[in-house]
Amino acid sequence: MSPLRDQLVSFIAALRAAGVRISVAESIDSMNAVAAVGLERAPMHEALAAALIKDEADRAIFDESFNRFFAAPRANRGEHPDHRGDAVSAAGGRGRPGENPFALPRDDALARDREEKSLPSEAKPAKQAAAARRHGAEKGKDAEPGKEAEPAKDARRLSDRMRGRRERGEAQAPEESPTPGIDATRVARIRAIERMPFDKFSDLDYDEARDALAPLIRRFRIRLGRRLRLARTGRIDFRRTIRAALQRGGALIDLNFRARRPRHVDLVILADISGSVRYAAQLMLELMAGARGCFRRVSSFVYVDHLAEADFEDGHLVMTPALDLYARSDFGRVLGELWERRSGLLTRAAIVVIMGDGRNNRMPARADLVREIVRACRGVVWLNPEDPARWGTGDSAIKQYAREVSALVPSRNLRELQVALAAIA
């Protein structure tokens, strides 16, 4: 059984590396689940999914990894047509491309490439060994007719295949991390990207940060939901308290409180997407788009020298109308446009989040408008991706805005950005 266990452990490690969160308890569950349903491919597939995948969004990653790890026997593989393919499920190779919200990490794709290339040369000895063993099994069967149960056979075939894979794996895996379960390099890379200042970002880093974003979004959503929910009034509902007391001879034993209403928060996001801060702005917009459900209404805008509505389609930022990204940013004018055209959004329930460096190219800052907006809304929070040491230098008008906004928070990297956003709600 132990090759199967090892295989499952490395399967789980691969899922973790792809961003699925799996606890030790869940991995033990998955082993028990496989023990319960047996090794037929389709039930095993569903059993592992039930034990390991707790969010339907991860299902696509799971399906793909499963197909990679537990490949269905090929039609031309194996010499016993009567036994071949009984375990090949209807579900074999069932991928659902439309559902994959997170791209598979690049290292997995690389590994797959490598595996496919190495298959023709290295699969052969494994296959021969498997054939030999099967031949032996056939002999054993002749000696003791009827003793060889079908599941045992399946098991052997499966473990044969896995042994083959293992041998292949050993031949080609010197550079991979020796401990299965923790892909240390990947974790380290995510950590690094979380701490990397936005102004040092390249396009490549941005892509990598977006890969890291998927699990972050989920954690963020849970955190946010909790914060919004914990806000309670704690006022006694007099009528219900008295009614309850009537049943108990008038003794006020149970206090009934007013039902908590979920706090409704409207969010208005303004993000500067001019060259200097665009990575920070896009990552923030994407993070917030993932947490959209936690708010009553989210209106996202991007700006350079004008205001434009922002939306996410398949992970790409779409803005209407399109902005000239190379124009000189003018936040004063943007504030004016917001105040005149979109004042309907600025209500008591609204929190305005502004992401930008406040470098206004020496145009009028219009901090007075920020003051008006603060008065109309619940609050205005400014996230500044610039190093605080540089605030107020050169053409930065951030000091003028700082006097008016409810909070000014540095968010130089992904980690600071997350903390700042969670604190807003």
Partner 1 sequence: MDLTREQISDGLRRALYVTNERVETAIFLALALEKPLLIEGPAGAGKTEVAKVLAEILHTELIRLQCYEGLDEARALYEWNYQKQLLRMQAGEQQGLRWEELNEHIFSRDYLLERPLLKAITAPSRVVLLIDEIDKADEEFEAFLLELLSDFQVSVPELGTLKAHERPAVILTSNRARELSEALRRRCLHLFIDFPGAEQERKIIELKVPELDAKLAAEAARFVGAIRKLGLRKPPSIAETLDWARALVRLGVRELDTDAVRTALGVLLKHEDDRVKVESKASALAPHRR
- In the complex, which residues of this chain contact partner 1 (CB under 8 A)? 21, 23, 25-26, 29, 32-33, 36-37, 42-43, 46-47, 49-51, 53-56, 59, 90-91, 218, 221-222, 225-226, 229-230, 247-249, 253, 259-260, 262
Nearer to partner 1, 45 or 366 (CB): 45
CA-to-CA separations, 26 to 17, 31, 219, 376, 377, in angstroms, rounded = 16, 9, 18, 49, 45
Nearer to partner 1, 171 or 251 (CB): 251
Nearer to partner 1, 207 or 254 (CB): 254
| Alpha helix positions (H), 82-176 | 106-143, 150-172
| C-alpha to C-alpha distance for 49 and 30, rounded to whole angstroms | 8
C-beta of 33: minimal distance to partner 1 in Å? Answer: 5
Helix (H) or strand (E) holding 285: helix 278-290
* Whether the bond into 43 is cis, omega within 30 of 0: no
Nearer to partner 1, 135 or 248 (CB): 248
Nearer to partner 1, 18 or 355 (CB): 18
Nearer to partner 1, 17 or 47 (CB): 47
C-beta of 96: minimal distance to partner 1 in Å? Answer: 11
Residue 282 Cα to chain centre, angstroms: 16
C-beta of 265: minimal distance to partner 1 in Å? Answer: 14
Compute, in degrees rounded to 10, the torsion defined by CA atoms 315, 320, 325, 329.
-120
C-beta of 221: minimal distance to partner 1 in Å? Answer: 5
CA atoms within 13 A on the CB side of 313: 5
Residue 86 Cα to chain centre, angstroms: 37
What letter would DSSP give residue 236? Answer: B
C-beta of 216: minimal distance to partner 1 in Å? Answer: 14
C-beta of 218: minimal distance to partner 1 in Å? Answer: 8
